[in-house]
Amino acid sequence: MKTIFFVLITLFSVSSFAQSKEEIAVSKAVESLKNAMLSGNRADLESIATSELTYGHSNGLIEDKAQFVEALASGKSDFVTINLSDQTIRVVGNTAWVRHKLAAETNNGGVAGTTKLSILLVFQKQKGYWKLLARQAVKIP
């Protein structure tokens, strides 16, 4: 009896942590966004974001897609490292939201720094691809 109980608990635990196909695809989009932000590659940054992107920074600055891409591609905003943790993904139809914590080393305008943020990302599925529609960051004390 104990064995059956243990097996059922184990199966329930594993299934509750399993990601759906769409959640895995969104997770890959988050990784693509992270890699594009690290590289500053203009084409990669443009391809991951919707044309309607609204990108909110923890200091209150809000950028559109062109401003988001230019800041990273020009090196004005420069991420040296990005570490993501505590990620949660939820898919609802053709929209997905992602919450995670971001810890990064930066080199903005040649000035080295670090940042710790709590991030909310909103992705929209367009033509079979998950694209960043919105982002908002809050500083973690």
Nearest to 29 by CA among 140, 136, 138, 133: 133
Close Cβ partners of 43 (under 8 Å, ≥ 6 residues apart): none
Category of 79 on φ-ψ map: left (φ > 0), alpha (ψ -120 to 50) or beta: beta
Task: Indicate whether 8 pLDDT > 80.
Answer: no
Q: Is the confidence at residue 7, as pLDDT, over 90?
A: no
pLDDT in tens, 59-77: 999 999 999 999 999 999 9
Digit-coded pLDDT (tens) for 12-48 = 444 445 789 999 999 999 999 999 999 999 999 999 9
Structural domains in the chain, sorted by start = 20-139 (3.10.450.50)
Distance CA 66, CA 26 (A): 22
Q: With 90 as the cut, is the pLDDT of residue 101 above it?
A: yes
Which residue did the predictor score with more confidence, 15 or 53?
53
- Whole-structure pTM value: 0.85
